[in-house]
Structure 1
Amino acid sequence: MFKTTRALVLRETKYKEADKILTVLTEDEGKLTVSARGVMRRGSRIAAACQLLTFSEMTLFENRGRWVVQEAQTLEQFLGLREDIALLSLGTYFAELMEAVSDEDSPNPEVLRLGLNSLFALSGGLYPPEHIKAVFEARLMCLSGYEPALEACPVCGKEDMVSPVFSTLGGTVLCGKCRSSQYGESFPLCEASLAAMRHISGAESKKIFSFTLENAAEKRLNKVCEAYVQAQLERRFSSLDYWKSVK
């Protein structure tokens, strides 16, 4: 059986002498594991389209329950990432996160769209990398079933909170005076960083990056979004650690 789909390469693993095993995120099938045979041989027609962080149109052939890349054409390579090791490592972190929240036979085209838009913004230098990272992390959590409760303090019910804090375990924002150990570890926010989180959560996909913060508020937003991802997914990501070492 043949299938044609558009897919983003999230991970590549060398297999045998000239093959690769790819993890790709597709529009219509969710996450797939596919084999790219002979892709590492000189002159391979599918080599460019099967690189990490490349968005391609792939024709797949099912062979004994496994998908094999028959043909592939590059749609977007995000060349700006390949010219900067820090940007490439941050893009790889985005790919790791998308792989972590995606399942086979469970398409989530909004996650793919977020990934493509974030990689495009990163590659083109449309926003600072830290800004793109925070937006990507926060929006990905919303699209993956971990949308935080940001409208009001669950203890006192106030929407306009004084000295707000964010509980990464509970996924909720609280007033500073309502902060409690029962909500687990919490991180300080400010009015601006809380407003940014609300914007990322509720804005149209094409507008999620469209806000500005002063440096201190941007740092708070980054710290909260990163901590929330790690708390909810219960893991750390080596590509994130590497990005921090080279940025």
Structure 2
Amino acid sequence: MAATPYTVTKGAVLRETETKEADKILTLLTPDLGKIPVIARGVRRKSCRFAAAAQPLAYSEWTLYRKGDWYYANEGATIALFDGLRTDLTRLALGCYFAELTEAVTAEGEGAPALLSHLLNGLYALDTLRKGEALAKAAFELRLLCLAGYEPLADSCAYCGREEPERPMLDVVQGVLRCVGCGRQESGLSLPLCRDSLRALRHILYGDPRRLYSFTLGPEPLGRLGAAAEAFTAAQLERGFRSLDYYKSLLPPEIPSK
């Protein structure tokens, strides 16, 4: 009888589903196999050697074998657990949103090294760099959408061509930048930006991905950028996210401006 062929790969746990008495079904994001379902038998038992590797957001090296449409976990060794997120419920919720959003734009069975790298960098920014949540969220959303083929056009006004649009607006439906007075008839839902939030938007879209989170914004420009990023994500993917709703439920209530 031929030996069962094993596959060794690295992957991040995007989602877990508990099943049977002690098993989990994991959704892993790997660089070579893409998004794959993995059955981890007995992983909920205290005696399981790779229980830590099967936690949500854990990044690990896995030894898998395939049977039909499913992969089965044989071994797992953790590489990064992002422990800082697990002691901060709000940041953990945001990290889970990053994972759910990444899962939504990733096709099964197709290699996804860039998407995996982006997810890990986003979790690292929250966990180790301790970047502000609003800044990290906006940068993560916009760059992820670019990697998934939804990049907005933000180099100039889509209608008059001005590089610095007058009172810039981001049309989140068409994915274009415009002046406040341009394209009103053709435009879908548009959100206002400002000089600083537009500069940050261009940094996220066109800058070095290794320096994605290396910018700062004041509260008002950051609020504009964050609102535009979230609306653009929702409009392009045409869906909501439970993890985002939960994250937002943990935030302190906004104080109305006088």
Give the secondary-structure state (helix, strand or coil) at the position aligned to 1:121. Answer: helix
Say whether the 8 Å CA contact 2:125–2:213 is kept in structure 1.
Answer: no
Shift of 1:179: 4.3
Q: What's the % identity of the aligned pairs?
A: 45
1:224 aligns with 2:232: no
In the alignment, is residue 121 of structure 1 matched against residue 119 of structure 2? Answer: no
Residue in structure 1 matching 2:26, options 22, 29, 54:
22
Could you tell me which residue of structure 2 aligns to residue 110 of structure 1?
114
Which residue pairs with 2:53 in the alignment? 49
1:73 aligns with 2:116: no
Which amino acid is 2:82 matched to? F
- Corresponding residue for 1:240? 244
Q: Which has the higher helix share?
A: 1
1:9 is aligned to 2:13:
yes
Q: Shift of residue 63 of structure 1?
A: 1.8
Q: Is the Cα contact below 8 Å between 1:165 and 1:179 reproduced in 2?
A: no
Contact 2:23 2:40 in 1 (8 A): yes
Change (3 A) 1:126 1:84: closer
Q: Secondary structure at the match of 1:120?
A: helix
Return the TM-score normalized by structure 1.
Answer: 0.98
Distance of 1:121 and 1:157 partners within structure 2: 35
Q: How far does residue 125 in structure 1 lie from its aligned partner after superposition? A: 4.6
Q: Does 1:187 pair with 2:194?
A: no
Q: Is the 8 A contact 2:25 2:40 kept in 1?
A: yes
Runs of 4+ in 1 over 2 A off after TM superposition: none
Q: 1:243 & 1:64 partners in 2: Cα distance? A: 37
- Distance (whole Å) between structure 2 residues aligned to residue 140 and residue 181 of structure 1: 29
- The CA deviation string for residues 110-161 of structure 1, in whole angstroms up to 9 with x for no partner, is 1111110110111125310111000000100110000000011121111111
Residue 165 of structure 1 corresponds to: 169
TM-score, reference length from structure 2: 0.94
TM-superposed deviation, 1:213:
1.1
Amino acid of the structure 2 residue aligned with 1:189:
L
Letter in 2 for 1:113: S
Opposite residue 195 of structure 2, the aligned amino acid is E
Structure 2 distance, partners of 1:10, 1:69, is 15
CA distance in 2: counterparts of 1:42 and 1:92, whole angstroms: 24
In angstroms, what is the RMSD of aligned CA positions? 1.0
